[in-house]
Structure 1
Amino acid sequence: MKKTMVLFALVGLALTTSCGKKEVEQTEETIETQLEETEQVIEESVEELEESVEDAAESVEDTVEEVTEEING
């Protein structure tokens, strides 16, 4: 769910940036650069989120194992 929210936020920012100044003409090169930068930011954010999820999952697994060991004695 967090990934989806981050992606929507980043795409919204990219669209706001690219459409914000209608008076100024943007070249194709500028638009391509913005798209590449946006894709890079999205990829980095997704990687960070995946790492966070993996860390959280490992933490939960460790906690479950500890509680199970305590219960089983």
Structure 2
Amino acid sequence: MKKMFALGLAAGLASLAACNNTPQEQAADNIEANSEAVADNLEEMADNANTEAREDALENRADTVRDMGENKAEDMRTNDADTNLSNGM
């Protein structure tokens, strides 16, 4: 149920993000939505883990996936998409 909600939420966010956004902004929003869905799935797996160590490892992966998604999305928003250079040159 939670997985379906997360995927539905991601699809809804992606469709809302399409309103009056540049392709670069849409791509950044999609990156965030996808990483959030993956992180939610990892947290769901952590809830069902059979050991405390496995649960902690999955929760750490979920945090890492979220952080990476946010960083990639921010990079997409602030950098030149054609060159992928931070300074835009």
What percentage of aligned pairs have identical amino acids? 22
2:46 counterpart of 1:51? yes
Do the aligned residues in 1 keep the contact of 2:6 with 2:40 (CA within 8 Å)?
yes
Equivalents in 2 of 1:33, 1:13: separation in Å? 12
Amino acid at match of 1:9: L
The number of residues matched between the two structures is 51
Structure whose CA Rg is larger: 1
1:16-64 deviation line (CA, Å, top 9, x unaligned): 3333xxxx3x211111101101111111111101111225xx6xxxxxx
Do the aligned residues in 1 keep the contact of 2:14 with 2:33 (CA within 8 Å)?
yes
Could you say what the CA RMSD is over the residues aligned between the two structures, in angstroms? Answer: 2.0
Question: Counterpart of 1:10?
Answer: 10
Question: Counterpart of 1:67?
Answer: none
Tell me: CA distance 1:31–1:17, structure 2 relative to 1, closer, same or farther (3 Å). closer
Equivalents in 2 of 1:17, 1:32: separation in Å? 9
Question: Counterpart of 2:34?
Answer: 39
What TM-score do you get using the length of structure 2 for normalisation?
A: 0.46
Equivalents in 2 of 1:9, 1:28: separation in Å? 20
Equivalents in 2 of 1:13, 1:31: separation in Å? 10
What TM-score do you get using the length of structure 1 for normalisation?
A: 0.54
Equivalents in 2 of 1:32, 1:13: separation in Å? 12
